[in-house]
Amino acid sequence: MILKHSAHPFDFWILPLALVLIALVAPVSGATYSDNDFVGRGYGRFAAYNYELKPEMEDLVNYGLDRLIKEHTRVFGRNVRKDFTVRYRIFGRFEDYAAYSLARYKKEVTKNLLGFYSPRTREIVTWRQQQTWLLVPTLLHEGSHAIMDEMFGQLPFWMIEGSADWFGEPAWAEGTTLKKDKQARWVRLNKLREEGKLPTLVKYLPASDYDAWAKMFDGNVAQGYDVGWSLFDFFMSNPQATKFMAGIVTGANTEQSGDPSLIFAKYIHAQWPGGLPMFEKGWHSWIKLKAEGKAPPSTTTPSTPAKTVPKRSLLDP
């Protein structure tokens, strides 16, 4: 989840400076919060509250961030500043996560909102999670938002979440639970396809906020994430498609546009063989193949030397 400047319920409002300063030091469960709380090495900086951040977890996240930056650079041809860091504010208790989010961002969170990234403050806010295995994918998902924010200006809305979901679930981090979760997503998407409930891409691609997703999926915004994730996976299924996608995103027309989501949709219709109808047909076929376990392995999935893969015990419950 990335916070954006608009009027839907997942957004934040720019607070007066005085209110921000108060929020930074306002006690929540007896604690105070400051930018000085962030410590760490590598790309990750962590501020943990009632949560024990083990060295193994810090190593795992830093490893993941390093991989994410390299993959984003490989796919999009851009890099981050030398002094780039990703700041994580992790709460051990949901109540503290909710109180901090409300105090600083005027944002009401539920346990279904695993975490969020604020481009304004450049920090990620999250908590331990009800299902602890979700913390690593959440940290990597939100870390992807921070990386994309560093590398780009305007981006198509679907890609903001779709790419973060995709990069945030790397092959090297796939414990048994995460593998099952990913397969379940493909099965859900295929069921929507079979029932004719997948949105047309003419409707989905130009959507520019969570409100549009809520209307599109009868309030189930999670389906918007699933669709974006599957589209990004489809683009990553072979090098030619990946290059095509990256070319749109890094093009001047997209970055300088006030509506990059619409520009992206128009470019596919104009440049993809057969336009949006053929692209959509291919995407539907890809969903079916993935759900049935028949899709060929992605040629763009990074391989990781066995010596450097983090321990699986940190990734599974």
Domain harbouring 147, CATH code = 3.40.30.160
Average per-residue pLDDT for the chain: 85
One domain, residues 3 and 141? yes
CA dihedral (102, 130, 115, 33) positive or negative: positive
CA 106 from chain center: how many Å? 21
One domain, residues 139 and 170? no
Query: Could you report the per-residue pLDDT of 114-127, keeping only the tens digit for each?
Result: 999 999 999 999 99
Give the per-residue pLDDT at 178: 75
One domain, residues 2 and 118? yes
Burial of 263 (0-12, 13-18, 19+ CB in 10 A): buried
Going by pLDDT thresholds of 50, 70 and 90, the confidence category of residue 32 is confident
One domain, residues 265 and 278? yes
Which of helix, strand or coil describes residue 74?
helix
79-88, 164-173, 285-294: lowest mean pLDDT where?
Answer: 164-173
Give the per-residue pLDDT at 14: 32
One domain, residues 143 and 163? no
One domain, residues 145 and 163? no
Structure tokens at 201: 């891409």
Which of helix, strand or coil describes residue 118?
strand
One domain, residues 174 and 283? yes
Structural domain boundaries enclosing 97: 1-151
Among 151, 177, 211, the domain-final residue is: 151
Q: What is the pTM of this model?
A: 0.81
Query: Could you report the per-residue pLDDT of 222-269, keeping only the tens digit for each?
Result: 999 999 999 999 999 999 999 999 999 888 777 777 899 999 999 999
3-7, 161-165, 243-247: lowest mean pLDDT where?
Answer: 3-7
The set of residues, in sequence order, having a beta carbon less than 8 Å from that of 5 and lying 6+ positions away, is 11, 12, 14
Check: CB of residue 21 under 8 Å from CB of residue 28: no
Helix axis angle, 239-249 relative to 55-76, nearest 10°? Answer: 90
Report whether pLDDT(301) > 50: no
Give the per-residue pLDDT at 4: 56
